[in-house]
Amino acid sequence: MTSSNDKTFQSEKGIHTDFLEKMTYGDYLGLDTLLNSQKRLSNHHDEMLFIIIHQVSELWLKLIIHETKAATQAIQSRDFQASFKMLARVSKIQSQIIQAWDVLSTLTPAEYMEFRDKLGNASGFQSYQYRLVEFVLGYKTPHILKIYEKNPELHQILKEAYHAPGLYDVSIQALAREGFQINKDILERDFSKTYQKDESVERAWQEVYKNVNDYWDLYQLAEKLVDIEDWFQQWRFRHMKTVERIIGHKKGTGGSSGVNYLKKVLDHYFFPELWEIRSTL
């Protein structure tokens, strides 16, 4: 007896079925490599969840880096419309990563303890892609680079990002190009230092928000930056609460203070002036 699915398939005369010498979907995506990259170190059922959640998050981080770097270059080239599309995409990606914590939070403390010791000192704290995201958003911490000295090629990539202007730096440069008086020390600052808020930058953004029609591109850029920071803070919060839910206040596998460390970074702002002006407008 022929099923309705078989009949539907047979009615599609153009569907390709001969792939002996053609590229398949799996070939294009490298699925053999991708789907064989989940190597459990224990026999516990839930370790698969733990691995996949982190691997999926790393793929999303890769796309965030790809889009944010391109948006940074677009802003430098004054192609604001292209940057807006890329930054809007980053915000949507962030929403996906946030929801991943809801899946991981189905892992109970008892279940995690069954394989946690197999992780050794491996920790999400060591995610180099997460550090690249922080660097491009302007949060630079020198001690972080030491973690990656084991891999010279990777260390060089991080070092270059560490010394490069971030997304907010090029946005401030865009303010200066539009004629706003920005502190010279900010425009010529050492980009390897974490950005600290500046009065001249705050005054410029205030003027943008007071005269939206005159500075429409800069206004849209500011709101895209706020979107990204908002989502990033939500990601940090969900990360912290998921860790607290699963391991409480134990130390992280990488040696950090765990929840206490995650709570501290919640207080950091990448784009401080854009939040300050909301109280002063």
CA–CA–CA angle 226, 229, 233 (5° rounding): 140
| C-beta of residue 163 within 8 angstroms of C-beta of residue 192 | yes
pLDDT band at 9 (very low <50, low <70, confident <90, very high): low
pLDDT band at 6 (very low <50, low <70, confident <90, very high): low
- Please give the single-letter amino acid code of residue 181: Q
**Across the chain, what does the average pLDDT equal?**
91
Quick one: pLDDT at residue 69? 95
- Average pLDDT, stretch 33-43? 96
Give the helix, strand, coil percentages of the chain, each rounded to 5.
65, 0, 35
- Please give the single-letter amino acid code of residue 227: D
194 annotated among ligand-binding-site residues: no
249 annotated among ligand-binding-site residues: no
52 annotated among ligand-binding-site residues: yes
- Please give the single-letter amino acid code of residue 58: E
- Average pLDDT, stretch 13-39? 87
Q: Which CATH class, in words, describes the domain spanning 45-279?
A: mainly alpha
DSSP letter assigned to residue 250 = P
Structure tokens at 167: 């997304």
Residue with tokens 């909301």: 278
28 annotated among ligand-binding-site residues: no
- In this predicted model, what pLDDT tens digit does every residue of 226-277 receive, in sequence order? 999 999 999 999 999 999 999 888 876 766 677 887 888 888 899 999 999 9
Q: How far apart are CA 58 and CA 53, in angstroms?
A: 9
157 annotated among ligand-binding-site residues: no
- Please give the single-letter amino acid code of residue 57: S
pLDDT band at 28 (very low <50, low <70, confident <90, very high): very high
- In this predicted model, what pLDDT tens digit does every residue of 190-227 receive, in sequence order? 999 999 999 999 999 999 999 999 999 999 999 999 99
- In this predicted model, what pLDDT tens digit does every residue of 122-148 receive, in sequence order? 888 889 999 999 999 999 887 888 888
pLDDT band at 5 (very low <50, low <70, confident <90, very high): low
Other beta carbons within 10 angstroms of residue 65's beta carbon come to: 18
